[in-house]
Amino acid sequence: TAWIVCLVFLYTIMCAYTIGMTEIISGFLEKNLLHVPSSCLSILSVITVSLPIYFGMAYIAVFNRFIVIGMFTAFFALTFFITPHIKISNLLAAPIHLPTMALPIVFTSFGFLIIIPSLRGYLDDNIKHLKISIIVGSFIPLIIYMLWVTVVMGAIPALGKNSLETILAQSEPVKNMVNMLISHTGNTQISFFIQIFILFAIASSFIGTSLGLYDFLADGLNISKNPTGKIKLLASTFIPPLIIALTQNHLFITALGFAGLMSTILFGLYPVMLAWSGRYMYKLNTHYRVSANRSVFLLIVIFSFAVIGIEFLSLKVNFLQ
């Protein structure tokens, strides 16, 4: 059951990233008076991400290094241009229900845990280096995205005309957010940097999730990584989400939310169930014991079910709309 939930989670988030990359590239091309069919852009995105995975971790490291440098450059340029337009009133006026509804998407960020087996192999089973990479690799994006959320919510009102609420109610939210920031700042120069930042942010997550799914399928289906096996794995990794992205290219936020639901089950409920059953039902005596008691486990379960409930409510609202 856990294997299936993990597979659904990975495929769902792969769909979201494929749709997101397609959307932002399409918006960039349209601003330069170029129209390319979304299907072609989706296929191009998948090919771009799949090639480094086929050639191995060394190529992935180079590819990801380029993405991270580009993302940081674009982020600091954006911060410079948008900060003068941040209004404290926008930050203070944000209603509590909007951040609450975003909780399932926040949980999606914990999907990086799926890449730990791949990292362990890349770091030659050096647990110390693995821990450092996880902590540093989690802390830096956290700071960047907290600043990014502050910049966006400070520049764009949460409610009303031309607001964050308007963006959520429309299709193609990524493209609409770019246009909204340009409208509120009156600075067309930021368009390029916004698109580069969002594109590289999605691309870095996309290649990490793709690698995790690639290794997950190789292990679960017992497929060796010879040239023929790699082709099979790449096809299994990218074709299912690509098909959904080609037919449902408006579901970026919905797919992220659903992936958050799967992530909540996988990384919220399952670990508690395993620890609870091993500790209190089977009385297992292991060399490692999580430093948590029944109260902590129950709080995690309650919070996880709250997140699941919020996502079901969000899916219901989107369906009714």
- Checking if the pLDDT of 319 tops 50, the result is no
95 phi, psi to nearest 5 deg: -70, 150
Average pLDDT of the segment spanning 65-89: 87
Q: What is the pLDDT of residue 53?
A: 92
**Mind listing the pLDDT tens digit for each residue in 216-272?**
899 889 999 899 999 999 999 999 999 988 887 777 767 777 777 888 888 888 889
* pTM score above 0.85: no
H/E segment holding residue 183: helix 173-185
Q: What is the pLDDT of residue 96?
A: 63
Please name the residue that has the structure tokens 């008691």: 293
For the record, the structure tokens of 125 come out as 């089973």
* DSSP state letter for 284: -
Contact 129, 121 (CB under 8 A): no
Secondary structure (3-state) at 286: coil
Average pLDDT of the segment spanning 14-25: 86
- Cβ-based neighbours of 125, under 8 Å, separated by 6 or more: none
Q: What type of residue sits at position 281?
A: M
* CA distances to 61, 203, 223, 243, 250 from 46, in Å: 18, 10, 21, 11, 17
- Checking if the pLDDT of 316 tops 70, the result is no
For the record, the structure tokens of 94 come out as 């944000």
Sign of the Cα torsion 68, 44, 59, 139 reads: positive
**Mind listing the pLDDT tens digit for each residue in 141-188?**
788 878 888 888 888 887 777 777 787 777 666 677 777 888 888 777
CA–CA separation, 267 vs 279, rounded Å?
Answer: 18
Closest of 227, 233, 246, 261 to residue 19, by C-alpha: 246
The three-point CA angle 20-223-225 to 5° equals 80
- Checking if the pLDDT of 281 tops 50, the result is yes
CA–CA separation, 311 vs 104, rounded Å?
Answer: 6
Contact 175, 250 (CB under 8 A): no
Per-chain mean pLDDT for the chain: 82
Task: State the angle between helix axes of 227-247 and 190-220 in degrees (0 to 180), rounded to the nearest 10.
Answer: 130
* CA distances to 47, 145, 262 from 250, in Å: 21, 23, 20
- Checking if the pLDDT of 196 tops 90, the result is no
- Checking if the pLDDT of 192 tops 70, the result is yes
Average pLDDT of the segment spanning 107-114: 71
Q: What is the pLDDT of residue 320?
A: 46
Most confidently predicted of 77-86, 88-97, 246-255? 77-86
Average pLDDT of the segment spanning 268-293: 82
Lowest mean pLDDT among 12-16, 189-193, 240-244: 189-193
What is the residue extent of each domain of the chain? 2-250
110 vs 280: which has the higher pLDDT: 280
Please name the residue that has the structure tokens 């609202």: 317
**pLDDT-based confidence at 287, cuts 50/70/90?**
confident
